[in-house]
C-alpha cells in the first residue's frame, strides 16, 4: 500500500515555483471584489428604490387605466 501511494504521489520538489507570477491575478481578484463592495453604496440603493418605485407606479397606472395596456403593447 505504501509503495503504491508513493508511486501515485511523486515527491514534490521543495524549490518548485509556479511558472508565472501569480500576484497580478490575485490583485485583479482583490480589485474586482473591492469594486463589487463599492457598488453596493447608498447611492446605488437609492437608484434601486427609484426603479422599484417606477415599477410600482407603472403597475398602479395600468390598474387604474387598463385601456392603456394595449396602447403600451402597441409601442413594444
Partner 1 sequence: MNTHPYLRAYLAGVFLPTLVLPLLLALFIVVRIVLQAPVPIERAIIFPMAVVPSLFGLWNMLYLASHERTHLPIGLHGAVLPLLMAPAGVLTATCLGVLEFSSHGTTWFQALYVPYALIAPCFLAALAGYYLVWKFIVGCLNRALGIA
The three cell numbers locating residue 37: 463592495
**Residue 76 binds partner 1 (CB under 8 A):** yes
**Residue 73 binds partner 1 (CB under 8 A):** yes
Segment near partner 1 (CB under 8 A); pick from 11-19, 25-33, 38-46, 67-75? 67-75
**Residue 43 binds partner 1 (CB under 8 A):** no
Rounded to whole angstroms, how far apart are CA atoms 58 and 20?
A: 54
**Residue 72 contacts by C-beta under 8 Å, 6 or more apart in sequence?**
62
**Residue 63 binds partner 1 (CB under 8 A):** no
Amino acid at each position: 500500500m505504501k509503495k503504491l501511494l508513493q508511486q501515485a504521489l511523486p515527491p514534490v520538489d521543495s524549490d518548485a515555483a509556479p511558472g508565472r507570477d501569480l500576484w497580478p491575478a490575485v490583485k485583479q481578484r482583490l480589485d474586482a471584489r473591492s469594486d463589487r463592495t463599492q457598488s453596493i453604496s447608498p447611492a446605488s440603493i437609492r437608484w434601486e428604490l427609484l426603479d422599484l418605485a417606477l415599477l410600482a407606479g407603472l403597475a398602479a397606472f395600468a390598474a387604474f387605466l387598463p385601456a392603456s395596456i394595449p396602447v403600451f403593447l402597441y409601442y413594444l
